[in-house]
Structure 1
Amino acid sequence: MKIAVVAANGRVAKKVITEALNRGHEVVAFGRHDENNTLAKTYVKKDILDLTKEDLHGFDAVVDAFGTWAPESMGLHMTTSQHLADILSGTDTRLLLVGGAGSLFVDKEHKVQLVDTSDFPDDYKPVATGMGKALAELRKRNDVKWTYISPAAEFQADGERTGKYILAGEEFTLNSKNESIISYADYAIALVDEIEKGEHIQQRISVVRA
């Protein structure tokens, strides 16, 4: 498959690129910096908001790995994801988004999100809110083959690659050890699995270490 990874120099993106390449997929990395810090042989220097339909034509999947922690930039989570959705609208190219855990529901009625609970860290609330708004806007679209993938609450950059994960849905899920944890490497496995299987079109899914 031919896969585009946007915001490719980020830590999650690099894990996704490595996983996809190791499975024999063709990967093109897109980033706004001069340097290609990924293993992708093809790198295109271009800001997300400057990408066009022509740039992403012919790809089977586009991975949106954009993220920011800057308080003044929280709106970019929605702006960038909607831009990608706009240019992929009406095509068969799938859009897979590296999401957040804060928007996962903690009740069966899907009224209360993790970000709304008393134990949720204040420092993470702005980014959780920004990413949650991006998901809410995606839910309104039926013209794009999007999939939003939320990690576990503890998302470990340097965690081990176990090769095992639990695939869940909209609700905050714990493993058998009562943990909500996953490494970037295992998350990348789940994301590339979803690219290959394509079983959750216009859905949010979540993953936690098995």
Structure 2
Amino acid sequence: MKIAVYGATGMVGSQIVAEAAKRGHEVTAVSRGGRDVAGAASAAVAELGDTAAYRALAKENDVVVFSIPPSRTGESHQPFIDAHEEISETLVPARVFVVGGAGATEIDGVRLLNTPGFPEEYKPEARTMGEVLDFYTSASGLDWTMLAPAPVIAPGEPTGNIVLGNDSPAGDHVTTGDFAVAALDELEEPRHLHRRFTVASA
């Protein structure tokens, strides 16, 4: 399978690249600087909001993975939101796989960011990822999946023991290695087309 990974130099994206390469897939690492990433067969330069570049990558690959979080430095999230709205409305031959956020997952139908005790500093990102999810759930004709992590995601190797959930957190924490395993399992054997699911380390 040919897989393009946006955010391939990041904490999660680099693990997805490594896991995909380990399984024998041909990976293109997509970043703003076009940096080489361990395990990737090639590198490409693209901004999240560059629709022409996205269309080209979606024609050349079976899957396009978006592993890019919204800005965490106080900048406006609107360009990020606009980019995902455009992606969700652009029909492409590739499958779209989005790395989601834990704050937009739900407990008893209430998004985590709206539950008591949710940290204020994480609410802007959680709201943004909720908007992004809404774009995809409203999309028509696009093959997409979103995978959201547990509330705590941290660098770590695959444990060999993961738990999956639907819209609710599957557990308290997940390693980036376990997240990548769940992502590649889904890409190889799709079970969550047109929906979000969650993962945690057991």
Matches within 5 A, 1:37-52: 37-50=37-50, 51-52=53-54
Q: Secondary structure at the match of 1:35?
A: coil
The one-letter code of the counterpart of 2:137 is R
Please identify, of 124-133 and 77-86, the stretch whose mean Cα deviation from structure 2 is larger.
77-86
Cα RMSD for the two superposed structures? 1.6
Q: In structure 2, what is the equivalent of residue 61 of structure 1?
A: 63
Alpha carbons 2:174, 2:201 under 8 Å: kept: yes
Whole-Å separation in 2 of the counterparts to 1:23 and 1:81: 28
1:34 offset after TM fit, Å?
A: 4.5
The one-letter code of the counterpart of 2:106 is F
1:92 offset after TM fit, Å?
A: 3.9
Q: In structure 2, what is the equivalent of residue 169 of structure 1?
A: 166
Whole-Å separation in 1 of the counterparts to 2:130 and 2:174: 20
- Output one character per residue of 1:118-148: Cα deviation in whole Å (capped at 9) or x when no partner: 2111111111111111111111112211111
Whole-Å separation in 2 of the counterparts to 1:165 and 1:159: 13
Alpha carbons 2:84, 2:135 under 8 Å: kept: no
Structure 2 unmatched runs, 5+: none
Alpha carbons 2:99, 2:147 under 8 Å: kept: yes
Alpha carbons 1:101, 1:153 under 8 Å: kept: yes
Q: In structure 2, what is the equivalent of residue 201 of structure 1?
A: 193
Whole-Å separation in 2 of the counterparts to 1:37 and 1:132: 29
The one-letter code of the counterpart of 1:185 is G
Cα distance, 1:41–1:173 mapped onto 2, change above 3 Å: closer
Structure 1 unmatched runs, 5+: 175-179
Q: In structure 2, what is the equivalent of residue 8 of structure 1?
A: 8
The one of 146, 149, 152 aligned to 1:148: 146
TM, length-normalised to structure 1: 0.88
Whole-Å separation in 2 of the counterparts to 1:37 and 1:140: 33
Matches within 5 A, 1:100-111: 100-107=101-108, 110=109
Alpha carbons 1:142, 1:202 under 8 Å: kept: no
Q: Secondary structure at the match of 2:107?
A: coil
1:81 offset after TM fit, Å?
A: 2.2
Q: In structure 1, what is the equivalent of residue 75 of structure 2?
A: 72
Matches within 5 A, 1:122-137: 122-137=120-135
1:59 offset after TM fit, Å?
A: 1.4
Q: Whose helix proportion is higher, 1 or 2?
A: 2
Whole-Å separation in 2 of the counterparts to 1:190 and 1:117: 26
Alpha carbons 2:4, 2:61 under 8 Å: kept: yes
Cα distance, 1:161–1:173 mapped onto 2, change above 3 Å: closer
Alpha carbons 2:164, 2:170 under 8 Å: kept: no
Moved over 6 A (4+): none
Alpha carbons 2:162, 2:200 under 8 Å: kept: yes
Cα distance, 1:70–1:166 mapped onto 2, change above 3 Å: same
The one-letter code of the counterpart of 1:62 is V
Cα distance, 1:52–1:160 mapped onto 2, change above 3 Å: closer
